[in-house]
Amino acid sequence: MKMKENITILNNDYIKKLKVEEKEKYKELVFRRRRLGMFAFISVIIFSFIAIQLKINYDKVVKASVIRDEVIKQQKTLKQQKEKLKKKAKLLEDEDYVAKVARNKYYFSKEWEQIYTVPEYW
């Protein structure tokens, strides 16, 4: 403790000049840190916005690909149905086939035939 009593602070122009320079350097350091912090904050906001947009676009692409796959499946089934209907239409051009279908489905008969219905669960 006695050593502190022996220390005296010089209060001349040189020391005042050093203190002013030190304060200016400190202010500049604080300004640089704030500027760097603000730049980092703005960068984080910009990159977050970009990441969110990328995620939204990725979800849209995934949804569109799922819809595309469903449409392709529907297209295949519709093509198969179209082929079946074309085959049926071809068969309907044959008079014998039309007569057979009319007799089975609508119970048409020839003059000398008799129709007997049988329950379907047999």
Tokens of 55: 């995620």
Tokens of 35: 């500027």
The string of pLDDT tens digits covering residues 52-97 is 999 999 999 999 999 999 999 999 999 999 999 999 999 888 888 8
How many Cα atoms within 13 Å fall on the side-chain side of residue 53?
Answer: 6
Give Cα separations from 33 to 21, 26, 29, 40, 94 (angstroms): 18, 10, 6, 10, 91
> pLDDT over 70 for what percent of the chain?
95
